[in-house]
Amino acid sequence: MTKRPALGCLFEIVETLVLTLIIFVVIQNFVAQPYKVQQQSMERTLEPEQYVLVDKLTPRFDAYKRGDIVVFTPPEDWGDNGTPFIKRVIGEAGDTVEIRDDGLVYIDDVALEEPYIYADEEGGPSQATTAPLEQAKWTIAENEVFLMGDHRSNSADSRTFGPVEVDQVIGRAWLRYWPLDTFGILPAPTYAGLAPADS
């Protein structure tokens, strides 16, 4: 009499653990995934050791847009032991992205207003954006995005390795959840004078 209830209890525990594991794997692979910021390329927007939640579901039916912060797999020559990068979408498919001598980024000849760019001190001037010597202008193809870090002088990004295929993007960072005192949704900016490239 006692063996059957014990076996039934054990079966229920195993069944619960298996279901929990399946749910975790499904959520992690298709819905949302935690990501630890490890680089300094997004300061002051995101600091190293902060954690964000990466949305992997909505990008399947809502394309990445200018201003989104995304986590992606960098090109092989730029990766660090398979660690994903986190950057901001600057250019969408169809855009012409240009970095000019005035230190600003232009999309189709419209200068971007970028209040999130790193400044050495609070309220101080933002860093100028510079381009590599060999290229300062890119046309973004279908299924590509042009990505840059907010800390422009401390970021390996599309200025050096070029546009990134959308297939390499893991998801959209939308919530910073750790440390608790930094908890909040990561807002996507709007850009005056620019409509989304696909509209």
Render pLDDT for 182-194 as a digit per residue (tens, 0 to 9): 999 998 898 887 7
Contacts of 185 by beta carbon, 8 Å cutoff, 6+ apart = 174, 175, 176
Section 155-165 average pLDDT: 94
Question: Which residues are bridge partners to 110 per DSSP?
Answer: 107
Per-residue pLDDT band at 199 (split at 50, 70, 90): very low
Does residue 181 form part of some domain? Answer: yes
Does residue 193 form part of some domain? Answer: no
Angle at 116 between CA 29 and CA 132, to 5 degrees: 85
The CATH number of the domain holding residue 62 is 2.10.109.10
Does residue 28 form part of some domain? Answer: no
Preceding omega of 159 cis (within 30 degrees of 0):
no
Does residue 80 form part of some domain? Answer: yes
pLDDT value, residue 78: 75
Which is more confidently placed, 13 or 105?
105
Q: State the residue for tokens 């992606």.
A: 72
Does residue 135 form part of some domain? Answer: yes
pLDDT value, residue 71: 96
Section 30-50 average pLDDT: 89
For 70-121, what is each residue's pLDDT tens digit?
A: 999 998 877 667 789 999 999 999 999 999 999 999 999 999 999 999 988 7
Does residue 1 form part of some domain? Answer: no
Distance CA 6, CA 170 (A): 44
Does residue 14 form part of some domain? Answer: no
Domain, as residue range, for 100: 35-185
pLDDT value, residue 87: 97
pLDDT value, residue 28: 60
Contacts of 48 by beta carbon, 8 Å cutoff, 6+ apart = 37, 38, 39, 40
The beta-strand segments (E) located in 80-154 are 85-91, 96-99, 105-107, 110-111, 137-139, 144-148
Section 56-65 average pLDDT: 89
Nearest to 177, CA basis, from 51, 56, 54, 55: 51
Does residue 195 form part of some domain? Answer: no
Number of domains into which the chain is organized: 1
Distances (CA, A) of 190 to 92, 112, 127, 147, 194: 14, 10, 20, 16, 8
The 8-class DSSP code of residue 29 comes to: I
